[in-house]
């Protein structure tokens, strides 16, 4: 005896397999929007720091603090060109007196804004695993030790996917898969 069609059990098995595959796909890509936003926000932070260096005609230092899921990027105008966030000691007495300007923070980026889905995995500038670089007043990158600022910062999500924000020696920023 021939049967034309499928049984209810066969149809339920096929629907169950499709449901499981759809669920896995959703789980795997759940962090993707946060991952993409984190890369775009980091790129924006670096572009803002470059703009401020040119606008204020002062170096802007960008520091990367890599501590797992609580990584941060901090940018500040370096008033006394020493690569350290401090103040400009006008009278040389070693104290931050009234009227002496401190290095002004320009904001930054933190991985905690992305629900633990993204962290910094490396920062390398000037040919080494440097944790900082500076934008020069002419808009070109350099390291706080004076060498070229070419390099990259790599973000990683919970699934191990990587996204690199790269900086060329001419100061061009780009984002992509390393």
Half-sphere exposure of 38 (CA within 13 A, CB side): 29
- The neighbour count for residue 62, using CB atoms within 10 Å, is 28
Sheet holding 105-110, edge to edge: 105-110, 72-77, 60-65, 132-135, 141-142
Q: What's the whole-model pTM score? A: 0.69
| Residue 87's pLDDT band (cuts 50, 70, 90) | very low
For the chain, the structural domain boundaries read: 31-176
**Of 175, 161, 168, 138, which Cα lies nearest the Cα of 31?**
161
| Residue 113's pLDDT band (cuts 50, 70, 90) | confident
**Of 173, 169, 122, 175, which Cα lies nearest the Cα of 141?**
169
Class of 31-176 in CATH: alpha beta
* pLDDT tens, position by position, 137-171: 888 887 655 455 678 888 888 778 888 888 887 88
- By percentage, how much of the chain surpasses pLDDT 70? 67
Q: Which residues pair with 103 in a beta bridge?
A: none
| 117 or 55, higher pLDDT | 55
| Residue 100's pLDDT band (cuts 50, 70, 90) | very low
Separation CA 93–CA 41 (nearest Å) = 40
């Amino acid at each position: 005896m021939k049967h034309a069609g499928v049984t209810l059990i066969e149809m339920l098995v096929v629907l169950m397999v499709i449901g499981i595959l759809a669920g896995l796909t959703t789980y795997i890509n759940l962090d993707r929007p946060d991952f993409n936003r984190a890369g775009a926000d980091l790129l924006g932070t670096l572009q803002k720091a470059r703009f401020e260096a040119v606008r204020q005609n002062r170096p802007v230092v960008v520091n990367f603090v890599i501590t797992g899921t609580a990584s941060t990027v901090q940018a500040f105008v370096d008033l006394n060109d020493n690569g350290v966030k401090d103040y400009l000691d006008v009278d040389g007495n070693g104290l931050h007196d009234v009227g002496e300007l401190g290095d002004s923070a320009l904001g930054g980026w933190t991985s905690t804004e992305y629900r633990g889905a993204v962290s910094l995995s490396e920062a390398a500038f000037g040919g080494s695993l440097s944790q900082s670089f500076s934008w020069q007043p002419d808009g070109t990158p350099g390291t706080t030790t004076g060498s070229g600022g070419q390099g990259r910062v790599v973000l990683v999500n919970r699934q191990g996917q990587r996204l690199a924000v790269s900086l060329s020696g001419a100061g061009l920023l780009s984002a992509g898969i390393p």
